[in-house]
């Protein structure tokens, strides 16, 4: 058996680094915006405006690199390894060990089991991440509404908070995470029903159904552009792994 190996995880490291940098730039932009509104016209204020423009451009460029290059590259590598494991073909040189945990031989059923396992773990991590994300988003929305109601002609403060919420994509990120969590639950439920009824792999309906669910899961990942928390995954992994073993036993997937 050996130790758990996941060489594909290396493809996600640049995404994590760039995302952390974008978060830092976001708070620099937030502070710069507030200073621009609060400071009177001065040479110092013009310097802040210059820094603001430069940081905004850098943040935008990094966001596009992540969206159109880094994440697609990582997801493509993950998908190739996923299919390699499901059908025992060498689509990639990247290796994993103990990443997928089911005993189906290479087949369409193993593809379905791997997809179900991914949806189960991803959904659990999403649910945990959403606890903090929902709290932050709801708190900011309440603050935004309160400021609007009692702004007392302080439109600058309203604009500043609006920029934090919408320009920083706080709400967009929350919606993306909610969407991916919903799709994970949907995929898991469909595959649970499929294995519960023990539909044979020689059935054309089985092949078409499992391929459709697999594409649904992959499309959801691509559409949401969600990067799941590695820290939360490793924290939940022992509990989730035990639960996954019980699920496999209950569905006779071993």
Residue (of 222, 187, 45) closest to 115 by Cα position: 187
- Residue among 184, 194, 213 nearest 121 (CA): 184
C-alpha span between 121 and 237 (Å, rounded): 8
User: How far is Cα 241 from Cα 143, in angstroms, rounded to an integer?
Assistant: 40
Distance CA(205)–CA(122), nearest Å, equals 26
What is the dihedral sign for C-alpha 106, 109, 113, 116?
A: positive
In this structure, what are the phi and psi dihedrals at residue 99, rounded to the nearest 5 degrees? -80, -45
35's enclosing H/E stretch is helix 9-38
Instruction: Report if pTM > 0.85.
Output: yes
Q: What is the pLDDT of residue 168?
A: 63
Can you give the pLDDT at residue 26?
A: 86
Half-sphere exposure of 216 (CA within 13 A, CB side): 22
Comparing CA positions, the residue from 249, 241, 250 lying closest to residue 121 is 241
Structure token pair of residue 80? 């190739």
Element (H, E) at 179: helix 170-196
pLDDT at residue 220, rounded to an integer: 95
Q: What is the pLDDT of residue 221?
A: 93
The predicted pLDDT at position 153 comes to: 58
pLDDT at 231: 93
| φ, ψ for residue 6, nearest 5 deg | -145, 90
74 touches 8 (CB < 8 A): yes
Please classify residue 38 by burial: count the beta carbons closer than 10 Å to its beta carbon, then call 0-12 exposed, 13-18 middle and 19+ buried. exposed
Distance between CA atoms of residues 74 and 97, nearest Å: 18
Given a contact cutoff of 8 angstroms between Cβ atoms, the answer to whether 176 and 226 are in contact is yes
* CA 248, chain centre distance (Å): 25
- Distance between CA atoms of 51 and 90, rounded to whole angstroms? 49
CA-based nearest residue to 79, from 67, 66, 94: 94
pLDDT at position 154 is: 67
Give average pLDDT by consecutive 10-residue segment, the chain, 254 residues.
78 93 88 78 73 89 92 94 93 85 91 97 97 91 81 69 74 92 97 88 85 96 90 95 95 84
In the structure, how many helices (H) and strands (E) does the chain have?
Answer: 8, 2
Where in the chain are the domains? 1-99, 102-254
């Amino acid at each position: 058996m050996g130790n758990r190996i996941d060489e594909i995880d290396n493809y996600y490291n640049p995404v994590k680094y760039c995302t952390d940098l974008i978060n830092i730039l976001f708070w620099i932009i937030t502070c710069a915006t507030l200073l621009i509104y609060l400071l009177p016209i001065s040479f110092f204020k013009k310097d802040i405006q210059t820094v603001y423009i430069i940081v905004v451009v850098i943040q935008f460029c990094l966001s596009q690199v992540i969206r159109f290059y880094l994440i697609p590259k990582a997801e493509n590598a993950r998908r190739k390894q996923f299919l390699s494991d499901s059908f025992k073909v060498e689509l990639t040189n990247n290796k994993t060990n103990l990443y997928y945990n089911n005993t189906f031989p290479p087949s369409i059923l193993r593809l379905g089991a791997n997809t179900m396992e991914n949806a189960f773990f991803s959904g659990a991590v999403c649910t945990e991440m959403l606890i903090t994300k929902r709290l932050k988003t709801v708190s900011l929305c309440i603050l935004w509404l309160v400021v609007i109601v009692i702004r007392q002609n302080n439109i600058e403060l309203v604009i500043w908070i609006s920029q934090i919420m919408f320009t920083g994509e706080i709400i967009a990120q929350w919606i993306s995470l909610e969407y991916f969590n919903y799709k994970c639950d949907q995929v898991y439920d469909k595959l649970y029903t499929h294995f519960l009824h023990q539909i044979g792999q020689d059935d054309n309906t089985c092949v078409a159904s499992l391929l459709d669910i697999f594409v649904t899961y992959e499309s959801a990942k691509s559409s949401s552009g969600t990067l799941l928390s590695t820290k939360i995954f490793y924290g939940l992994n022992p509990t989730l792994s035990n639960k996954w073993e019980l699920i496999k036993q209950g569905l006779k997937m071993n």
